[in-house]
Amino acid sequence: MNQKNDSAVSLSVLLRDFPKVELHRHLEGTFPVKKLYELSLKNGIDAPKEFDDFIEFIQFPRDSKPDFLTFLEKFKNNWYRSYEDVYWITYHSVKDFINDGIFYIELRFSPEHFSLENDFDRGKVTRLIVEAGNKAAEETGIVIKYLLTFNRGKQSEDEMIPLYNKLKKLDLADVVGIDLAGDETNFPPALFKNFFDLVEADGLYKSSIHAGEVSPSRQIWESIDILHAARIGHGISTIKDAKLQEYLKERHVCLEQCITSNYQTGSWPDEKNHPMGELYRKGVPVTINSDDPTIQGIDLTGDYVKAVEYLGFSIDDLVELNLEAIDYSFNTEEYKKSLKSRYLEKVRHFKEKHKLS
Ligand code: HPA
Ligand code: ZN
């Protein structure tokens, strides 16, 4: 192995161990490949029976040109045949997070996605996903909270509202936010105004809206001004809008950035010049996230390697970014304070172990 490869390997080993706060990861996009394969065989799903072909089937094709809708098509909702399947795949997904250095995660999932094929009870599915995730998190010593995803291309606002009203009655303390995902090109923010007015009026949850991923920065403005977004998923088009950069700083709205995902969806053409570095240096609130590791064929650690190698982030920058991510998490100020001191303790262990001063 040459020297360059050696240092690339050791950087990835180091960053795997680095304690991470992640605010944007979809459960539907983070199933362990082998477990999903097992589930697919068990349930006789119409998917390749050879493991290598199966991987190709579920991942964004390596030889495909970046494309948003091709990426979204990778989310299949027919894997599950029983409530036990949903519990099992969730448990194993969360069990793996510790191997990606996760300290704290806000995991998002769409109750509709997991229920649609079998018309499962959305409330029961939501409750059991939280139970399975919490069990795995407890066993591995990570902290987990949840966002409920609503898909803009698959549910109208009139369908979202009764579902939201049903789910909020579950009164699950670990559910802290609402996410709007899916096809932003054809389903702009204004279509969901009544739903997010209701979420805002209830005051039970904060919202993270996918916006400006493959749409102009206007959709980011609208997500904040019309949908009351506290955070923005991706928000790539911010780089072209200096006024918006100031607005995000002023309003303390952070961008949940995802380097690999942004390349594959076609939202940014060149990972080596991803705008996160420039935005960070300008003081615009950003965080590093994976989005959908299974589909992308890379985990959060892989995105951290890119942030260091391509965008020049140092370990101290990463610590600062992660502390800020705790600030942007959907928790009470008191809980954030306790998370920060536990996070800094993890960083101290990390630095000691790797002899970093
Ligand atoms: N964009 C929109 N919806 C999504 C994404 C994304 O990158 N990933 C999963 N759902
Ligand atoms: Zn996303």
Residues 6+ apart with CB under 8 A from 324: 254, 285, 287
Q: Which atom of ligand 1 is nearest to the CA of 184?
A: 2
Q: Tens digits of per-residue pLDDT, 166-201?
A: 999 999 999 999 999 999 999 999 999 999 999 999
CB 327 within 8 A of CB 286: no
Q: What confidence tens digit (pLDDT) does each residue in 311-350 have? A: 999 999 999 999 999 999 999 999 999 999 999 999 999 9
232 strand-pairing partners:
209, 255
The number of the ligand nearest the C-alpha atom of 28 reads 1
3 state SS of 144: strand
Q: Which atom of ligand 1 is nearest to the CA of 151?
A: 3
CATH class of 3-353: alpha beta
Distance 210 CA to ligand 2 centre (A): 7
pLDDT-derived band at 1, boundaries 50, 70, 90: very low
**pLDDT for position 62:** 84
In the reported structure, the alpha carbon of residue 2 is separated from the centroid of ligand 2 by a whole-number distance in angstroms of 36
Ligand 2 ion: residues within 5 Å (CB): 233, 291
What are the tokens at 35? 């477990």
Lowest mean pLDDT among 2-11, 98-107, 145-154, 318-327: 2-11
Q: Helix (H, G, I), strand (E, B), or coil: what is residue 24? A: strand
Helix or strand (DSSP H, E) at 321: helix 315-328
The ligand placed nearest to the CA atom of residue 113 is 1
What pLDDT is stored for residue 55 in this prediction?
96
Q: How confident is the model at residue 63, as a pLDDT?
A: 84
> Distance (Å, rounded) from C-alpha 182 to C-alpha 153?
6
Walk across the sheet containing 286-288 and list its strands.
20-26, 102-109, 143-151, 175-181, 206-211, 231-234, 254-257, 286-288
* Distance of alpha carbon 262 from alpha carbon 214, whole angstroms: 9
Q: How many residues does the chain have?
A: 357
The domain spans of the chain are 3-353
Average of per-residue pLDDT across 209-226: 98
Banded model confidence at residue 249, pLDDT cuts 50, 70, 90: very high
- Atom number, ligand 1, closest to the C-alpha of residue 234: 7
Share of the chain above pLDDT 90, in %: 96
pLDDT given at position 357: 77
* Ligand with smallest separation from the Cα of 232: 2
* Contacting residues for 80 by C-beta, under 8 A, at least 6 apart: 39, 43, 86, 89, 114, 117, 118, 120
Q: Using a 6 Å CB cutoff, which residues line ligand 1?
A: 26, 29, 181-182, 210, 213, 261, 265, 291-292
Band (pLDDT 50/70/90 cuts) for residue 245 is very high
User: Do 86 and 129 contact (CB within 8 A), yes or no?
Assistant: yes
Pull the structure tokens for residue 191.
């279509």
